[in-house]
Amino acid sequence: MARGKTKVLIIDADKAFAEKIAEILNPKGFNTTLCHTGKDGIHKASYTSPDIVLINYQIPDLKSKEVLNRLKGIDRTIPVIIVMAVGGERATVDLLKAGASDFLVKPIRSRDLLEAIKRAQTKRMADLEIQSKKFLSLGKLFPLLAHEIRNPLHAIGGALAVLQRRCDLKDDTITQSIEIIREEVQRLNQFIQECLDFSRPPARRRFAETDLNEIIRSSLNTLAPIIEADPGKIEVITHLDDDLPKIKANFNEIKQVCLNILKNAIEAIKMGGKLEIRTSSNPHKRPRYVMIKIVDTGTGIDKENLPYLFDPFFSTKSRGTGLGLAICKKIVVENHRGQIDIKSNTNIGTTVTITFPFSP
Ligand SMILES: Nc1ncnc2c1ncn2[C@@H]1O[C@H](COP(=O)(O)OP(=O)(O)O)[C@@H](O)[C@H]1O
Ligand SMILES: [Mg+2]
């Protein structure tokens, strides 16, 4: 936010009102975007990364709470100001409880509007600062920890190999114990790798013309042993657009994103189900983008967990690291200027959509 103008997204079905707000804010140096439906608001939020959102508590197409949740899913630190009319108190209190940061009552005086925007700006700056400090310290801590943990792990692995050679492998308890140690060592190594991936600085990244279809095929190839381990459990369906344009990207990073998302989907399909992967682009619209959609018919995600999915270490799995989606967000949003969005319904399934902007 420190760079350039503060971006304010205004979502209000009352066009004249939204324009009036923009007329107050634009001369003060704000960059405003107007939209008149919840769906358009979410769409614009995911493309323009606003610093502040103003939303009317009554929008025609979606419940304002849903829009709020989806906005928080895009970026949990965006301050959302609710615009209410007299009589909307109850709905507004609900929205404040659900994470909105402030509210304004119509008719709105310029002074009140500017004060609310100022409060939101201060909050946004503080949140961004905390976030960047957190990342900075994680970035320093992880490589150190990784080094300290990897060395003993290496030693444990070596010693285990010796034990395995010398022990009576007919004894089930011993073979089982050795297997447990081996699996846990592997799991710790994997965890360390994820921590390093998450904290790796952005330098030395190679971008080249990349075919997302090829990445999907390669990812499915990598995961084939897991998918085929239980034949018939997961039905994989692919719709890969033959005309998909290539984008400038880092193959390995995007493959890692696909692997993380596909692994989550596979883990969510506990009772058997479908895993659908689709690639597409929008050759005739602007802004132009290419899209990967990964849909599973797994357990789905509880509504209250949706805002936290991309937080480092957020996991609902007993053995999860909670770093998979944090890494995905970092690679897609920070490294490739793309967007990642997750929609989910418990017991129905989850859809992860990744888009990358591109210009031909
Ligand atoms: N496809 C999915 N279906 C159900 N839940 C999911 C899915 N993808 C992600 N999640 C939820 O998001 C959480 C975070 O995912 P992630 O960052 O990959 O960490 P981890 O897989 O280690 O738990 C998971 O613990 C799970 O609760
Ligand atoms: Mg995961």
Write the pLDDT tens digit of every residue in 271-294.
999 999 999 998 788 778 999 999
Ligand 1, atom 18: closest residue by C-alpha:
324
Pair 191, 244 in one domain: no
User: Cα of 44 to ligand 2 centre, how many Å?
Assistant: 27
Q: Which of 24-38, 110-124, 176-190 has the lowest mean pLDDT?
A: 176-190
Pair 98, 177 in one domain: no
Pair 219, 350 in one domain: yes
Q: Are 231 and 267 in contact (CB under 8 A)?
A: no
- Whether 256 lines ligand 1, by a CB cut-off of 6 Å, is no
Torsions phi, psi for 277 (to 5 deg): -125, 130
Pair 30, 148 in one domain: no
**Token match 């998909």: residue?**
244
Q: Which of 104-118, 123-137, 168-182 has the lowest mean pLDDT?
A: 123-137
- Check pLDDT > 80 for residue 233: yes
- Whether 260 lines ligand 1, by a CB cut-off of 6 Å, is yes
Pair 139, 237 in one domain: no
Whether residue 153 lies inside any domain: the answer is yes
Whether residue 115 lies inside any domain: the answer is no
The CA–CA distances, whole Å, from 344 to 76, 144, 348, 359 equal: 17, 37, 8, 30
Q: What is the arithmetic mean of pLDDT over 179-201?
A: 83
**Which uninterrupted H or E stretch holds 140?**
helix 110-166
Ligand nearest to the CA of 340: 1
* Ligand 1 pocket test target in 259, 260, 266, 315 with most atoms within 8 Å of CB: 315
When mean pLDDT is compared over 52-66, 166-180, 239-253, the highest value belongs to: 239-253
Whether residue 234 lies inside any domain: the answer is yes
User: Cα of 288 to ligand 2 centre, how many Å?
Assistant: 29
The CA–CA distances, whole Å, from 66 to 11, 28, 110, 304, 341 equal: 13, 31, 28, 12, 14
11: β partners: 35, 55
Pair 212, 262 in one domain: yes
pLDDT at 5: 84
Last residue of a domain, one of 76, 108, 140: 108
User: Cα of 309 to ligand 1 centre, how many Å?
Assistant: 7
Q: What is the pTM of this model?
A: 0.65
Average pLDDT, the chain: 88
- Check pLDDT > 90 for residue 98: no
Ligand 1 atom, smallest distance to 325 CA: 17
In this predicted model, what pLDDT tens digit does every residue of 52-73 receive, in sequence order? Answer: 999 998 888 888 888 888 888 7
Say which CATH number the domain at 336 has.
Answer: 3.30.565.10
* Ligand 1 pocket test target in 261, 309, 353 with most atoms within 8 Å of CB: 309
Ligand 1, atom 27: closest residue by C-alpha:
316
- Check pLDDT > 80 for residue 194: yes
Last residue of a domain, one of 199, 225, 251: 199
Torsion of CA 38, 43, 47, 52, to 10 degrees: 10
* Two structure tokens written together for 325: 């989606």
Pair 221, 342 in one domain: yes
Domain range for 185: 132-199
Q: What is the arithmetic mean of pLDDT over 97-117?
A: 91
Whether residue 116 lies inside any domain: the answer is no
**pLDDT band at residue 2 under the 50/70/90 scheme:** very low
User: Cα of 320 to ligand 2 centre, how many Å?
Assistant: 7
- Whether 46 lines ligand 1, by a CB cut-off of 6 Å, is no
Pair 57, 152 in one domain: no
- Whether 273 lines ligand 1, by a CB cut-off of 6 Å, is no
- Measured between alpha carbons, how far is 259 from 265 in angstroms, rounded to an integer? 10
Say which CATH number the domain at 86 has.
Answer: 3.40.50.2300
pLDDT at 174: 83
Question: How would you classify the pairing of strands 52-56 and 234-239?
Answer: unpaired
Could you give the number of structural domains in the chain?
3
**pLDDT band at residue 116 under the 50/70/90 scheme:** very high
